[in-house]
Structure 1
Amino acid sequence: MDAKDVCIEIENDEFYSKFLVDSVKPLIGENISVSDQVNKLAVGIEKLSKSLEKQVLDKHNDLLTQASHISDLEAMLESVRGQVQNLLKGAEKLKDRVHSPYSTLEKQTLMLERVQITCNLLRHTSKILVSWNKLSSVKDNPAKEAMILFELNELISDYNFEGITILDDVIKQVECRKTDLLNNATDLLQSSLLSGDKTKLLQCFKVFHNLQCTEEQIKVTVDSILNDLRKEISTALNVQMVSIEVKKSSSGRVAPGKANIMNAHDFKVKLWDNIEKLFKVDVYNSCTKVVMLQNVVNELHAIGNFRNISKHFWNNLFLIFSAELEKSPLTVNQSVEIDFPKLLKCFNELLSRLKCRDLEMNRSSLSRWENAFLSKSLGKLLEPVRTMWHLNQVPNMDQIDNAVRVIAEALSISLGDKQLSISLANSVAKSIKQMNMEAEQRMSLDSDVAQIIEPPTSAQQKNADLCNTLYYFSSQIKRVLMNMNSMLPQESIQIVQNSLKDISSMPVLQLFAETIKNSLFLILMTMHDEPDLTRGDDPTNKSLSCSPYMKELQQFVSRCKDIYLSMFQEKSALDDCCVNISKACVECFIQHVCNVRPLTKFGRVKLQIDCQQLETALSPLVNDITELGDHYRQLKALQLIFGKTPQEIAKSQCEGASLPYSMVMMFLFSFAGPQLIAPHTCAGWNIPKLMNWLDSHRNEWDRLEFVAGALQRYQNHVRQNQIVAYDEVYPILLQLLEDGRNSLKKFSGNCGC
């Protein structure tokens, strides 16, 4: 059997395989007896032995060759070992040759080092003694003495001079002199800050600089000032101390029924006296010390960068004050919240007295009390507004005056502090917005509140009263702003003024304006039914009056102004409303006049008189008719063309008349014969439809094209009917059409359209 097969047989055998595993467990089985196991093991061992013998016989030549190779290897290893021994002996000799010079060099280096240390000690000792001898000559110059002492201290700290008896006494005296000099300079610093002696303060810092302790001394000095100031602030805000002082000051009073009220008032007065005294004396003195300290340090540029001493002190002052205030009792905090502007005034007055540009208010540390004050201020501003609307549908003047007084007080208490003024202005704006909102909620804007037939209804009167109330409220606030204009910041004034822009009587007046304009349009529509406009007799040397529709117009305008519009007191809004109505009336009048068909010479004279009377009719609305601007100029231009021929009208139009080309052309159709039909007649429209079209098509180009359509239709009619000559007005209309188009093109080019 092959050796490989023997191995496989043993590995696969259940009994033999147990002996191939590393285990401490017993290999004796339960089903086979011990003798059988021993016999089986013997059989297996015999198989392995035979397999080994067979392999040895098969490969005995290879084994002999390997055995010979092993002997060769052992000979080579023996040779290598001998060479290693020789190498170790050589290395040992080399070590002896290197070690001796190294030891000698090491000893010499150590000796040299000691010589150098000794030389340095002698050199430093010499320098120390020379510098020490210099001290005697600079006793009266602390700055130079400090410089020498610092140099001595540096020299002494470089080496250990223990055992050098010649320096023992010097080292002790150097330390003592340095301590004495520093103490003297510190004492002089404190006294100089108290007396404000800038010269001595400069000397102190020269000493500190030369001793290299400037930063430490500045920190100690500023911290000392802050600690002292913290105690003063704590004392000023100490409610027990304040109460004791109040009791002492009111001990002689006898008022049992008012004891608590007076005590609370006296406590508040005494507290603010303490705070104001604190800022005027203690805080101011501390700040002046630090500012002087900062100025002196700034002059000594060589001592380092200490540019923010006063800023850091100022910021710490706010932090300390706010911290002490937070620790104070509730009564103190409430007093500060109520009278927070007084606290800001103390800080602002302190800044103005110090005259230091680098310092500015650190409001973040006071935000808690400022926010509480603003919250209470907003409540005070809104309270009178809510109360007046809660009690009445329309507030009376006394209630409005009370609200305005509260607003004026809120604006006045912020004088001197821009940011607080702006914050209070925003609160005032909220109060104004609340006032406007309350009034708008009570106004009625339905269509029936603009009726102009019957006397004013209760709803109309209520709307007018609400508008007048808002106007009075707005005008009183504007008067307050005017009186305080030089004291309040412009930003605050602008905030309040912007909030007043929403208060106007215009929305209600606009309802009346629309109703009045519609009625005016209906009255002007009756112009086309006037028989005098078509009369054929000569009006020369006849005394003529205005048309009946114009008389009706005059009466209507006067009635609307006296009965309805006069209810409103806001002059600016009323004037805007009246001007709006007047412009609409003039525009509608011109459109109707230019489209009256037929129109005789007598009718033109009547319309000319009506033009003059229209100014009288509108006089209740506008005192000066020239305020209507282009509309007034167009009315005057219309008044002039009634006595002119078509050729003269066209010439005046080319010379720059104010009337639009489209209206002039529509008017010239009244001079033409029956074949040259008016534009709206060509379109099959009546006068109301024409007016609606003109109102919705205000673009002059559209109107010119509308007239051009009628001219084109007339041209077609002439050609179709082979009429020999055109109407004499037709060429004039064509020329005006061309001029009107060119004028619009030129205008569009100049505008960059």
Structure 2
Amino acid sequence: MDPKDVCVEIENDEFYSKFLVDSVKPIIGENISVSEQVSKLALGIEKLTKSLEKQVLDKHNDLLTQASHISDLEAMLESVRSQVQNLLRGAEKLKDRVHGPYAALEKQTVMLERVQIVCNLLRHASKILILWNKLSSVKDNPPKEAIILFELNELISDYNFEGITLLDEVLKQVDHRKRDLLNNATELLQSSLLSGDKAKLLQCFKVFHNLQCTEEQIKKTVDSMLSDLKKEISTALNVQMVSIEVKKSSSGRIAPGKANIMNAHDFKIKLWDNIDKLFQIAIYNSCTKVIMLQNVVNELHAIGNFRNILKNFWKELSTIFSTELEKSPSNVNQSVEIDFPKLLKCFNDLIVRLKCKDLEMNRASLSRWENAFLSKSLGKLLDPVRTMWHLNQVPTMDQIDNAIRVIAEALSVSLGDKQLSISLATSVAKSIKQMNMEAEQRMSMDSDVAQIIEPPTSSQQKNADLCNSLYYFSSQIKRVLVNMNSMLPQESIQIVQNSLKDISSTPILQLFAESIKNSLFIILMTMHDEPDLTRADDPNKKSLSCSPYMKELQQFVSRCRDIYLSMFQEKSALNECCINISKACVERFIQHVCNTRPLTKFGRVKLQIDCKQLETALSPLVNDITELGDHYRQLKALQLLLEKSPQEIAKSQCEGALLPYSIVMMFLFSFAGPQLLAPHTCAGWNIQKLMQWLDSHRNERDRLEFVAGALQRYQNHVRQNQIATYDEVYPVLLQLLEDGRNNFKV
């Protein structure tokens, strides 16, 4: 049987497989007796034995070959072992030959090192003794003494001189002299800072520099000042100490049972008195010392770079102050929040008094109290504005004056601090915006707010009163800004002025202006119904007066000014509104005059008179008619135009007249015969439609093309009907059209 088959058979057999597993459990079967198991084991062993014998028989040549090879291997191993033994013996001999010289060299090296140490000790000892002897000769010169002591200290620190009796006393004296010198320099530093003796302070720092302890001494000095200031700040802000001082300073006997009650006003006065003294004395004195310290250090360039002593001190001082203030009782914090500008003034006055460019306000450390103050200030500013609108539809002058007083106080408390002033100006702008918003919400926008037929309605009167209140509010604030112009930062003034730009009576006045202009336009429209404009009489023989429509216009303008516009007090907005109405009236008058047809010589003279009367009609609106600018000059140009012939008009237009080419050309149609139709007649429009078109087409190019269309139609009419000659005005119109187009291109 093949050996592999035998192994497989034993591994797969249930009985034999138990013997192939490593286990501490008994492998005796429960269903087979012991004798049977022994027999089976013997049978299995016999099978394995036969399998082994068979394998040995099959592989006996290979086994013999391997056995002979093992003998050869053992011989080779024996040879290698003998060679290794020889190598080890050689290595041992080599070790003995190297170890001896190495030990001797090591011993000599140790001896040389000890000799070198002794030499250095002797050399250092010699230098120490020389310097020590030299020290006595410079006893009265602390900077040189410091140099020698520093060199001695460096020499002493290099080696341990313990056991050298020659130097024991010297070492003790060096340490003692160094401490004395440092203590004396420190005391001199403090006294020099107090007395302001710059020369002695320079000497101190030379000593510190020579002792290589400048940074340590500066830190110690500054820390000491900060520690003292911390105590001073804590004492000044201590509410119990303040209370005791207030009680001591109060006159009269304190009633029984009221020993702990303190007047809040007296407490606040004493608290701020303490803070003022703190800044004026303790903090000021410490800052002057540090400034002097910084200046002295800056002069001694050789001692190192200590450029930030003052800045670091100021930063730490600000932090200490804010920390101590934060730890103080609530009534102290509330007093600081309410009167925060006083605290800023203390800082700013201190900086100005110190006259040091390197110092600036550290606002971050005070942000908590500044934000609280700004929040309360905003509430104070908004409160009178909201209160005045709570019950009344229109605020009274007293209520507005109260709001102005609060605004003026808010702007005045920030004097001396630019950033706080800007912040408060922003809060003032918010209160102004609130005022404007409250007024706008109460403005009436009913259908009758712009009527100009009946007496002013309650809505119109209310709107006027609201506008007047806003105007009074705005004008009073502007007066406050003028009074404070030299004290407030320009940025603050600009913020408040920008917030006032939205306050104006113009929107309500604009409603009246539109109604007035529409009524004026209707009155001017009746110009075309005037019979005098077509009369053939000789005007030179008549004493002419203005036209009825002009009289009506004069009465209407005067009535509107006296009844409606007089309700408003804001002169600038009212003047702007009146000028706007006047310009619109002049422009529409010119348009109607230039489009009136037919128009006789009598009519032109009549219109000349109307031009003069228009100035009178507009006088209730504008005191000086020249304020209308180009519109006034165009009215004067129209007055001259009415007395000229078409050729004269064309010539004057080429010489640079003020009236647009399109308007002048429309006027020249009045000189033409019935076949040369006016532009709006060609378009099939009435005069009202023409005015609407002119309002929506203000571009001179569009208007010239509109007139050109009428000329083109007339030209086609002449050709179609084979008319021999053109109207005498036609060539003038063509020339003006060409000039107008060229002028427009230029």
Q: Where on the TM-score scale, by shorter chain, does this alignment land: which range?
A: over 0.9
The secondary structure found in structure 1 opposite 2:389 is helix
> In the aligned structure 1, how far is the partner of 2:13 from the partner of 2:415?
112
Partner of 1:552: 552
More divergent stretch after superposition (485-494 vs 14-23): 14-23
1:607 aligns with 2:607: yes
TM-fit CA distance, 1:611: 1.2
Shift of 1:257: 14
CA distance in 1, matches of 2:490, 2:258: 44
Distance 1:250 1:20 in 2: 111
* Distance in 1 of aligned mates of 2:718 and 2:76: 142
Instruction: State how far apart, in whole Å, the 1-side matches of 2:48 and 2:673 are.
Output: 149
Corresponding residue number in structure 1 for 2:57 = 57
Q: Which residue is 1:279 aligned to?
A: 279
Residue of structure 1 equivalent to 2:213: 213
Kept in 1: contact 2:599–2:670 (CA 8 A): yes
Q: Which residue of the partner structure matches residue 291 of structure 1?
A: 291
Gaps of 5+ in 2: none
Measured in 2, the distance between the counterparts of 1:669 and 1:411 equals: 65
Shift of 1:434: 1.4
Q: Answer whether contact 1:536 1:602 (CA < 8 A) is retained.
A: yes
Structure 1 window deviating more from structure 2 (726-735 vs 176-185): it is: 726-735
| Cα distance in 2, alignment partners of residues 265 and 100 from structure 1 | 99
SS in 2 for 1:448: coil
Alignment-derived partner of residue 508 in structure 2: 508
- Once residues 653 and 54 of structure 2 are traced to their aligned partners in structure 1, the CA distance between those partners, rounded to angstroms, is 143
Matched, 1:392 2:418: no
Aligned CA distance change for structure 1 residues 220 and 449 (closer, same or farther; 3 Å)? same
Deviation at 1:654, TM superposition (A): 1.1
Q: Counterpart of 1:136 in 2: which secondary structure?
A: helix
Q: What is the letter of the counterpart of residue 270 of structure 1?
A: K
Aligned to 2:693: 693
The reply to whether residue 671 of structure 1 matches residue 666 of structure 2 is no
The residue type paired with residue 219 of structure 2 is K
> Contact 1:524 / 1:549 at 8 angstroms: preserved in 2?
yes
Contact 1:633-1:658 at 8 Å conserved across structures = yes
RMSD over aligned Cα atoms: 1.7
Deviation at 1:615, TM superposition (A): 1.1
* Match of residue 706 from structure 1: 706
How far is the alpha carbon of 1:255 from its aligned partner? 9.7
Which residue identity lines up with residue 659 of structure 1 in the other structure?
L
Say whether 1:582 aligns with 2:582: yes
Residue 426 of structure 2 is matched in structure 1 by 426
**What TM-score does the superposition give when structure 2 sets the normalisation length?**
0.98
Q: Aligned residue for 2:596?
A: 596
1:247 shift after superposition: 1.8
Aligned position for 1:365: 365
| Post-superposition offset of 1:330 | 2.1
SS of equivalent to 1:649: helix
2:252 is aligned to: 252
- Would the aligned equivalents of 2:680 and 2:690 in 1 still touch at CA under 8 Å? yes
Report what 1:82 is aligned to.
82
Match of 2:7 in 1: 7
- Cα distance between partner residues in 1 of 2:353 and 2:585: 66
Question: In structure 1, what is the equivalent of residue 69 of structure 2?
Answer: 69
In the alignment, residue 159 of structure 2 is paired with which amino acid?
A: Y
1:316 maps to 316
Q: 1:261 to 1:497 in 2, by over 3 A?
A: farther
Match of 1:458 in 2: 458
TM-superposed CA distance for 1:261, in Å, is 9.6
Moved >6 Å (runs of 4+): 253-262
The answer to whether residue 47 in structure 2 is matched with residue 39 in structure 1 is no
Match of 1:563 in 2: 563
Shift of 1:465: 0.9
Aligned position for 1:716: 716
Query: Structure 1's 108 and 696: CA in aligned 2 closer, same or farther, altered over 3 A?
Result: same
Matched residue SS, 1:137: helix
State how far apart, in whole Å, the 1-side matches of 2:312 and 2:521 are.
76
State how far apart, in whole Å, the 1-side matches of 2:134 and 2:739 are: 109
Range that drifts further, 216-225 or 722-731: 722-731
DSSP 3-state at the match of 1:447? coil
| Deviation for aligned residue 1:116 | 1.1
1:237 aligned residue: 237
Change (3 A) 1:673 1:347: same
Alignment of 1:332-351 (within 5 A): 332-351=332-351
Tell me the CA shift for residue 529 of structure 1: 0.7
Q: Whole-Å Cα distance in 2 between the matches of residues 206 and 69 of structure 1?
A: 94
Q: Percent identity?
A: 88
Counterparts of 2:404 and 2:259 in 1: how far apart (Å)?
34
1:188-203 alignment, distance < 5 Å: 188-203=188-203
User: Aligned AA for 1:726?
Assistant: Y
Q: Which SS does the other structure have where 1:468 is aligned?
A: helix
Q: How is 1:642-681 mapped onto 2 (pairs within 5 angstroms)?
A: 642-681=642-681
Deviation (angstroms), 1:260: 10
Compared CA separation, residues 599 and 253, structure 1 to 2 (3 A): farther
> Does the C-alpha gap of structure 1 residues 219 and 262 become closer, same or farther in structure 2, counting only changes over 3 Å?
closer
Cα distance in 2, alignment partners of residues 4 and 258 from structure 1? 117
TM-score, reference length from structure 1? 0.97
**Cα distance in 2 for residues equivalent to 1:673 and 1:332:** 96
Given that residues 243 and 262 in structure 2 are in contact (C-alpha distance below 8 angstroms), is that contact kept between their aligned partners in structure 1? no
CA deviation string 1:268-306 (max 9, x = no partner): 222221211111111111111111111111111111111
Q: Please tell me the residue identity of whatever aligns with 2:616.
A: T
| C-alpha distance in 2 between matches for 1:303 and 1:192 | 19
Report the more deviating stretch, 363-372 or 252-261.
Answer: 252-261
1:418 to 1:189, Cα distance in 2 relative to 1, 3 A? same
- Counterpart in the other structure of 1:523: 523
Q: Name the stretch that deviates more: 251-260 or 639-648.
A: 251-260
97-106 or 324-333, larger mean C-alpha shift: 324-333
Q: State the match for 1:537 in structure 2.
A: 537
Distance (whole Å) between structure 2 residues aligned to residue 411 and residue 44 of structure 1: 117
1:25-50 CA-to-partner distances (Å, cap 9, x unmatched) read 22211222222221112111111111
Secondary structure of 1:486's counterpart equals coil
Are the structure 2 counterparts of residues 22 and 262 from structure 1 closer, same or farther at C-alpha, using a change threshold of 3 Å? closer
Counterpart secondary structure, 2:306: coil
Distance of 2:618 and 2:10 partners within structure 1: 135
**Relative to 1, partners in 2 of residues 1:598 and 1:359: Cα closer, same or farther, differing over 3 Å?**
same
User: Retained in 1: the 8 A contact 2:532–2:602?
Assistant: yes
Q: Is the 8 A contact 2:247 2:262 kept in 1?
A: no
Shift of residue 18, structure 1, vs aligned partner: 2.1
For residue 540 of structure 2, give the secondary structure of its aligned residue in structure 1: coil
Report the Cα distance in structure 1 between the residues aligned to 2:467 and 2:253, rounded to whole angstroms. 53
CA displacement at 1:21 relative to structure 2: 2.2
Letter paired with 1:362: N
| 2:736 matched residue in structure 1 | 736
Counterparts of 1:456 and 1:705 in 2: how far apart (Å)?
Answer: 45
Task: Output the CA distance in 2 between the equivalents of 1:496 and 1:92.
Answer: 104
**CA–CA distance in 1 between the matches of 2:180 and 2:451?**
100
Does the CA contact (< 8 Å) of 1:445 and 1:508 recur in 2? Answer: no
Residue correspondences, number: 746
One-letter identity of the residue aligned with 1:471 = Y
Q: Which amino acid letter does the alignment assign opposite residue 635 of structure 2?
A: L
Take 1:141 and 1:309, find their aligned partners in 2: how far apart are those partners? 28
Q: Which residue identity does 2:333 align to in structure 1?
A: N
State the one-letter code of the partner of 1:76: M
CA–CA distance in 2 between the matches of 1:200 and 1:685? 104
Deviation, structure 1 residue 721: 1.4
Q: Distance in 1 between matches of 2:682 and 2:274?
A: 93
Cα contact 2:239–2:332 (8 A) shared by 1: yes
Compute the displacement of 1:346 (Å). 1.1
Deviation at 1:711, TM superposition (A): 1.1
* Structure 1 position 20, deviation (Å): 2.1
Could you tell me which residue of structure 2 aligns to residue 749 of structure 1? none
Query: For residues 410 and 253 of structure 1, do their structure 2 counterparts lie closer, same or farther at Cα, with a shift above 3 Å needed?
Result: farther
Q: Distance in 2 between matches of 1:42 and 1:593?
A: 149
Give the partner amino acid of 1:383: D
Which stretch has the larger CA shift, 391-400 or 561-570? 391-400
Which of 262-271 and 65-74 deviates more?
Answer: 262-271
Q: Which amino acid aligns with 1:365?
A: S
Give CA deviations for 1:153-194 in whole Å, capped at 9, x if unaligned.
Answer: 010000011121111111110000000000000111111111
Deviation at 1:331, TM superposition (A): 2.1
